[in-house]
Amino acid sequence: MVLTRPATHAGSWYSSNPTKLSLQLDGFFQRAKKVEQSLSDEKVKDPIKGARVLLGPHAGFAYSGERLAETFNVWDTSKVKRVFMLGPSHHVYFKNSVLVSQFDEYETPFGNIPVDRETIDHLLTLKSSVKSRGAVFKPMGVDVDEEEHSFEMHAPFIYHATKNLIQGIPSLIPILISGMDEKLGEDLAHALLPYLMNEENHFIISSDFCHWGQRFGYAKYIADKDSTTITDLGDQLINLGSFQRLKSSDLSIHESIEYLDKFAMEVASQGKSQEWKNYITVTGNTICGQKPIGVVLRLLELYREQQQSTNDSVKFKWIGYSQSNPVYKPHESSVSYASGYVVL
């Protein structure tokens, strides 16, 4: 019996009608193809050879669709056979291990995407470097999987982008991350490294950027853009009160949020996992996929070591950035979205 994860967010976060959804995605991709310059000051073309590490958001398509299309538009699908998806847990907390799907396939309105059971079964055998913890990977409860949206919001784009491939639609390896210390991060990066070395394996990070506002418990603000280091940035950050007034010369709140996010993107582009951790510690920026991003940064460091490479291209490059809405007053809120990739 084939166990299928239902598309639990179809009909609410995105259309469950395949015709309507296809038209919507086609529109997103058409706009993505018109993007001429990326945030990394490089020409964007479709696809980009070797772009097999991707990052995109996981909000409803009305908010995140354009950024997701930018991400998947540059994807080099010529040799892809399986996709490792790393996403944050939104509804349950766990630590000392990561969770992998027990389903055989993921449903989308276009058709189902297979889950790579063979690879997952192997991952489940890997032991932690901390003996008392047991396995690095553990099975994800089917109810947790069905409630989580980190992977589902990417699935229609994966199907849409690979439906005509000669080798067929790639299989998925969904990996859910929650509490993570340095030991678990190292275990996970080392476990995934052999797969990254094979060009048939691709990696997708599912992450939104800053969740700003009192309802998210994050209202940090910076008045100007003169920080040159993470320490400088931390020294200048303040917490805005609900009724606090800003000076006319100060950045508006949405500009401050963008500055914080793009500072994070620049840190990620440096390719140093420890600097990424430092940025998160100092700013507290509520990037929900901060741990998956950190794992991939560490994975890329190991990749460069394995290749004995100092190749500057093996780092994050960014295409687009947006916010759900511009925040002008301290009592308002927003979520940010970015599109990015790494060429290997």
What is the signed CA dihedral for 286, 288, 293, 295, rounded to 10 degrees?
110
**Contacts with 117 (C-beta within 8 Å, 6 or more apart), sequence order:** 104
Measured in residues, the chain has a length of 344
Q: CA 76 to CA 196: how far, in whole Å? A: 15
CATH node for 4-211+288-343: 3.40.830.10
Pairing of strands 111-114, 137-139: unpaired
3-state secondary structure of 343: strand
C-alpha distances (whole Å) from 118 to each of 16, 102, 105, 126, 185 are 30, 11, 13, 13, 23
Q: What angle do CA 160, 293, 132 make, to 5 degrees?
A: 115
Instruction: List the chain domain ranges.
Output: 4-211+288-343
Q: CA 191 to CA 136: how far, in whole Å? A: 9
Which residue, chain included where needed, has tokens 């299989």? 171
212-223 pLDDT, tens digit per residue, is 999 999 999 999
Give the pLDDT confidence score for residue 255 in this predicted structure: 97
Q: What is the DSSP string of 15-56?
A: -S-HHHHHHHHHHHHHHHTT--B-TTSSB--SS-TTEEEEEE
291-324 pLDDT, tens digit per residue, is 999 999 999 999 999 887 665 668 899 999 999 9
Contact at 8 Å (CB) between 154 and 58?
Answer: yes
Low-confidence ranges of the chain (pLDDT < 50): none
Give the pLDDT confidence score for residue 309 in this predicted structure: 65
C-alpha distances (whole Å) from 253 to each of 25, 213, 236, 245, 332 are 31, 10, 14, 11, 10
Q: CA 204 to CA 195: how far, in whole Å? A: 13
Give the pLDDT confidence score for residue 248 in this predicted structure: 77
159-209 pLDDT, tens digit per residue, is 999 999 999 999 999 999 999 999 999 999 999 999 999 999 999 999 999
